[in-house]
């Protein structure tokens, strides 16, 4: 409608939902290269999740072609009296091969918001960068920082559009806003939960065990650091897809601080020495 375009209102109606009809044509064309509007290409006429399965899931792939995407993690976060503790490991594996032992699984969205990543590395990195951009735009438009609740809702709604297409993402959005410390779990199905303690990834059950046995709301700061570090360490010890280093962040009222980054091998010797 011409009047709608002149008023600029057509911008408000954003076409970022998945529509099967439009997706039947490969929209990422080679003339604008998705430079202005980000576009995701979808294979024509096939279910995207089924299309990739023979290449990613089977050991030998299809005629020797195996596309192994980077995966795997243990991450955790919990609220306590002095804010929110966030701890992650740093291993990224592609199938059985360890791609890197130093992957950054915490994205620093702004000085008061952190996002953790688990599941498929590319999905998490991309969608959390899009989230960081949306948070920045919110701040510019509204002259105040976005709340943790709103940020997590934005992310949940973005990925819900791609439900069933094979995304794999389990993330925790942690921050400090006007309501105090905030912690939300968001996953690739669009599930969004608020809570006091979460752990995600292939090693999450090991981390829950250690966290649950030592957690109290009134932990002191050094005790909380120690608990978070131990939980990740024990998960890396038992889960093959977690390892590398333990990266810890502490979300305080004045913003987040990076507490430490310690190699799991060093931690093993330190804890073993304590036992004696």
Question: How many whole angstroms separate alpha carbon 159 and alpha carbon 133?
Answer: 15
Say if residues 179 and 192 touch (Cβ distance below 8 Å): no
Binding of residue 132 to another protein (CB under 8 A) = no
Q: Does 59 sit near another protein (CB under 8 A)? A: no
Q: How far apart are CA 56 and CA 122, in angstroms?
A: 14
Which parts of 211-270 interact with another protein (CB under 8 A)? Answer: none
Site size toward another protein, by CB under 8 A? 41
**75 counts as catalytic:** no
Count Cα atoms within 13 angstroms, Cβ side, for 122: 7
Residue number, 66 or 260, with CB nearest to another protein: 66
CA-based nearest residue to 196, from 112, 78, 58, 81: 78
Residue 43 tokens read as 């294979």
Q: Which stretch binds another protein (CB under 8 A): 8-16, 50-58, 74-82, 201-209?
A: 50-58
- Per-residue burial over 155-193, b if 16 or more Cβ lie within 10 Å, else e, is bbebbbebeebbbebbbbbbbbbeeebbbbbbbbeeebe
Stretch of 121-129, 132-140, 150-158, 176-184 lying at the interface with another protein (CB under 8 A): 121-129
For position 55 contacting another protein by CB under 8 A, the verdict is yes
Q: Which are the contacts of 161, defined by CB distance < 8 A and separation ≥ 6?
A: 16, 17, 18
Q: Which of 17, 56, 66, 73 is catalytic?
A: 73
Would you state the structure tokens that stand for residue 154, as one six-digit string?
A: 């934005």
Whether the CB-CB separation of 183 and 79 falls below 8 Å is answered with yes
Binding of another protein by 114 (CB under 8 A): no
Laid out side by side, the sheet with 83-88 consists of: 197-201, 74-80, 83-88, 245-252, 255-263
- Nearer to another protein by Cβ, of 156 and 165: the residue is 165
Which residue from 92, 131, 246, 259 is in contact with another protein, where contact means CB under 8 A?
A: 92
Q: Binders of another protein among 155-184, rule CB under 8 A?
A: 165-167
* Nearest distance in Å: CB 55, another protein: 7
Binding mask 13-32 for another protein (x = CB under 8 A): ---------------x-x--
Q: Which of 43, 111, 164, 180 binds another protein (CB under 8 A)?
A: 43
Bridge partners (DSSP) of residue 248 are: 87, 260
Instruction: Please choose, out of 73-81, 102-110, 190-198, 249-257, the segment that lies near another protein by the rule CB under 8 A.
Output: 102-110
Positions in the binding site for another protein (CB under 8 A):
28, 30, 33-35, 38-43, 48, 51-52, 55, 62-65, 67-70, 92, 94, 97, 99-100, 102-104, 120-126, 165-167
The residues assigned a catalytic role are 73
């Amino acid at each position: 409608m011409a009047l709608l375009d002149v008023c600029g209102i057509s911008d408000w109606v954003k076409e970022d939902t998945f529509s099967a009809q439009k997706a039947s044509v490969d929209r990422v064309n080679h003339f604008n290269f998705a430079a202005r509007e980000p576009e995701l290409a979808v294979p024509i006429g096939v279910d995207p999740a089924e299309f990739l399965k023979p290449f990613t899931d089977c050991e030998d792939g299809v005629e020797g072609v195996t596309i192994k995407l980077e995966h795997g993690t243990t991450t955790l976060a919990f609220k306590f009296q002095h804010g929110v503790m966030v701890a992650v490991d740093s291993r990224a594996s592609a199938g059985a091969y360890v791609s890197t032992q130093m992957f950054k699984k915490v994205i620093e969205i702004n000085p008061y918001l952190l996002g953790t990543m688990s599941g498929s590395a590319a999905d998490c990195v991309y969608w959390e960068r899009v989230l960081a951009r949306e948070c920045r735009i919110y701040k510019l438009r509204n002259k105040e920082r976005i709340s943790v609740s709103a940020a997590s809702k934005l992310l949940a709604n973005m990925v819900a559009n791609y439900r069933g297409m094979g995304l794999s993402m389990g993330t925790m959005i942690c921050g400090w806003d006007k309501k105090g410390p905030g912690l939300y779990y968001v996953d690739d199905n669009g599930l969004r939960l608020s809570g006091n303690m979460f752990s995600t990834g292939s090693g999450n059950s090991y981390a829950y065990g250690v966290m649950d046995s030592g957690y109290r709301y009134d932990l002191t700061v050094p005790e909380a650091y120690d608990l978070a570090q131990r939980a990740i360490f024990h998960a890396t010890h038992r889960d093959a897809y977690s390892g590398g280093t333990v990266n810890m962040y502490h979300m305080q009222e004045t913003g987040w601080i990076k507490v430490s980054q310690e190699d799991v091998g060093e931690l093993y010797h330190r804890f073993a020495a304590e036992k004696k």
